[in-house]
Amino acid sequence: MTNRLQNKIALVTGATSNIGRAIATALAAEGARVIVSGRDADRGAQVIAEIREAGGHADFVRADLTGDPSASAGLAADALALTGGRLDILVNNAGVYPLHSTADAGDDLFDLVYGVNVKAPFHLVQALVPALAASHGVILNLGSWVARLAVPSSPLYSSSKAAMEALTRAWSSELGPRGIRVVGVSPGVIRPLGSDPEAPHRSDTLMADAPTGRAGEAADIAAASVYLVSDDASFVHGTTLDVDGGRANVAVSAERDAA
């Protein structure tokens, strides 16, 4: 721990599970006060208890981020009420990734995926721009390797994550001049929290073609996120960092099979 985020206040959506939880605890371990958000209050309580037991500062704010502007505005208002109106870091992590095909995707599924993954963070940013501009803050968006490397099982999800990459660039251009830095992190397949890092896991099969040949850990995304929201990355704008074991850019299966 290096206290890279001392005196910073962060809001992490979807912080009640896996990647968001790891990001929230990592930011807190670097000195940030973290607003943990999600729908599940029990898991939210566990996350803030873990952070507090480690000597960090955290509060839970429940929010169901459906994409309705009032839901995102409500989370923004509740978070700012706790922090006295200040926010330095927003992590748009909450996301859903139901498997589907184009043929069987109904309008409800379309609205669910785009509501949670695109509309909710869009409206959250709308609501929090004044606070983030005042603090010269940072927005970190979660993308995914499937935004750029096609897979057949989730066209709506893949395109929603491509939208977040595009928004990362668009917001960087639009909000950068107002003092807000906007960056993204694009995970490869990540194991659920608590799986044995030494033992093979079914998530590994989707990563067989990558240089790592295995899935990543939520901690891998958290470590990159700490860097991206810290002043160490103060010259990093509008880009999305692939933290995916090489999955989206490199294929090695032929060489591996031949070896």
Ligand X SMILES: NC(=O)c1ccc[n+]([C@@H]2O[C@H](COP(=O)([O-])OP(=O)(O)OC[C@H]3O[C@@H](n4cnc5c(N)ncnc54)[C@H](OP(=O)(O)O)[C@@H]3O)[C@@H](O)[C@H]2O)c1
**What is the C-alpha separation between 207 and 242, in angstroms, rounded?**
14
Q: Give the nearer residue to ligand X in terms of CB position, either 6 or 126.
A: 126
- Residue 210 interacts with ligand X (CB under 6 A)? no
Question: Which residues, other chains included, contact 186 with Cβ-Cβ below 8 Å and sequence gap of 6+?
Answer: 142, 143, 144, 145, 147, 148, 161, 165, 240, 241, 242, 243, 244, 248
Dihedral sign (CA 187, 11, 21, 160)? negative
Q: Say how many residues touch ligand X, by CB under 6 A.
A: 26
Going by the DSSP 8-state scheme, the letter that residue 248 receives in this structure is T
97, 114, 157, 227: which one is catalytic?
A: 157
| CB 237, min distance to ligand X, A | 21
Residues 127-156 within binding reach of ligand X (CB under 6 A): 142, 144
According to the binding rule CB under 6 A, does residue 38 interact with ligand X? yes
Residue 254 CB-half CA count within 13 A: 2
Smallest distance, Å, CB 3 to ligand X?
26
Q: What is the gyration radius of the CA atoms in the chain, in angstroms?
A: 18
Among residue numbers 213 through 242, which ones bind ligand X (CB under 6 A)?
A: none
Q: Is 157 a catalytic residue?
A: yes
CB of 131 to ligand X, least distance (A): 20
Which 59-118 residues touch ligand X, going by CB under 6 A?
63-66, 93-97, 116
Alpha helix stretches (DSSP H) within the chain:
18-29, 41-53, 69-83, 107-114, 120-135, 155-175, 218-229, 253-258
**Is 121 among the residues that bind ligand X (CB under 6 A)?**
no
Footprint of ligand X on residues 158-197 (CB under 6 A)? 187, 189-190
Q: Annotated catalytic sites, by residue? A: 157
Residues that bind ligand X (CB under 6 A): 13-14, 16-20, 38-40, 43, 63-66, 93-97, 116, 142, 144, 187, 189-190
